[in-house]
Amino acid sequence: MKILKIALLLLLALPTLVSAEDALWLDMAGVDGPGQGKKVVLISGDEEYRSEESVALFAKILSQHHGFDCRAVFAIDPKTGNIDSNNQTNIPGLEALKDADLMIIGTRFRQLPDDQLQYIADYINAGKPVIGFRTATHAFRGSGEVDGLTFAKFGLNILGEQWVNHHGRHKKEGARGVIESANASHPILNGVKDVFGPSDVYGVIHLKDTDTILMRGAVTKTMDPKSAPIAGDKNSPMMPMVWAREYTAPSGKKGQAVCTTMGASVDFLSEDLRRLIINASYHLTGLKVPKKANAELVDGFDPSFYSSAGGNYWTNRAIKPADFALGQDIKRADPPGSPEWPARDQ
């Protein structure tokens, strides 16, 4: 009888015995900082822009420099436990949204099961804040609808835009942020002056007059940060690149969102772009935005160049969430044939 009781106790304890190396997501407790007591869930899952590197980067910065409790979640191969962003149907760990104060999302065309979508639907229907980056404008696909939230229209209805086009030439032209003068005093722009990314400018056509454009994207001649903007019609007018807006959830509740069409992991080598995401995190969680927030890197950050790689890219990497944990550098793993960004060592 005692043996049976001991066996039962061991079975009940199994979930707590999973090692950090085997975990399917990353949890990082906040240290000293204004964000203490606030919880952020950062959602990755795209086949091109290396959002897995970006969410790990910001989980480190927000937790270690600013005090937020962070969970970073990933597209996971259920057979291996490896990160596989070509797997569009599995992002474990989303239950952390139940008591989250902020969701940061950079997914692309995900088709998640209803039990995972439910956590996102509940979060949005509660009117909680969202930051979307790069492909979050087309975060989901298909006809999935949970509690009134049509996920194929998540970008349009929550963030204010959907997939339109590459306004700049993909992998040829870069993007320089130009602050919208009418909104230059917005706290999300505190300490933000120089934003550049080698990802191109996206087309944006659906924003409303009630949306607040904070920065526009000037298409540059090359992907070199020293490159000049292209003259002529392409930059007249420049496309919105960062904006803030109010959304209405299916429940009728209002929520706040910030979106940027920048956000390939290599874009976040730009200190001021990192600072902009940090500022938005403060602003959307009701905290006073610092005059110049600490955007210094935590651990090494040598991000991969963006590229739509085949399935063997992810299989060959065999990366687990623990490989991005605190104390681990985020290391470049460019697929064969990826173009070089000429100034990646700046």
pLDDT digits (tens, 9 = 90+) for 66-98: 999 999 999 999 999 999 999 999 999 999 999
Is residue 314 in some structural domain?
Answer: yes
* Bond before 34 cis per omega within 30 degrees: no
Q: Which two tokens stand for residue 5?
A: 């009781």
Is the CB of residue 74 less than 8 Å from the CB of residue 44? Answer: yes
- In this prediction, residues 202-206 reach a mean pLDDT of 97
Rg of the chain over CA atoms, in angstroms? 20
Q: What is the pTM of this model?
A: 0.92
Is residue 8 in some structural domain?
Answer: no
Q: By percentage, how much of the chain surpasses pLDDT 70?
A: 88
User: Taking the mean position of all CA atoms in its chain, how far away is CA 252?
Assistant: 26
Is residue 340 in some structural domain?
Answer: no
Is residue 312 in some structural domain?
Answer: yes
Residue 70 is classified by DSSP as: E
Is residue 274 in some structural domain?
Answer: yes
Is residue 277 in some structural domain?
Answer: yes
Is residue 301 in some structural domain?
Answer: yes
- Residues of the domain holding 293: 26-165+240-324
Which strand (E) or helix (H) includes residue 209?
Answer: none
Q: For residue range 237-284, what is the model confidence (pLDDT) as tens digits? A: 899 999 999 999 999 999 999 999 999 999 999 999 999 999 999 999
Query: Cα(91)–Cα(77) distance, rounded to whole angstroms?
Result: 9
Taking alpha carbons only, the member of 71, 80, 92 closest to residue 24 is: 92
Cα→Cα distances 78→11, 91, 194, 213, 314, Å: 21, 10, 41, 40, 13
Query: Cα(227)–Cα(98) distance, rounded to whole angstroms?
Result: 44
Is the CB of residue 48 less than 8 Å from the CB of residue 202? Answer: no
The CATH number of the domain where 142 resides is what?
Answer: 3.40.50
Into how many domains does the chain fold? 1
Is residue 88 in some structural domain?
Answer: yes
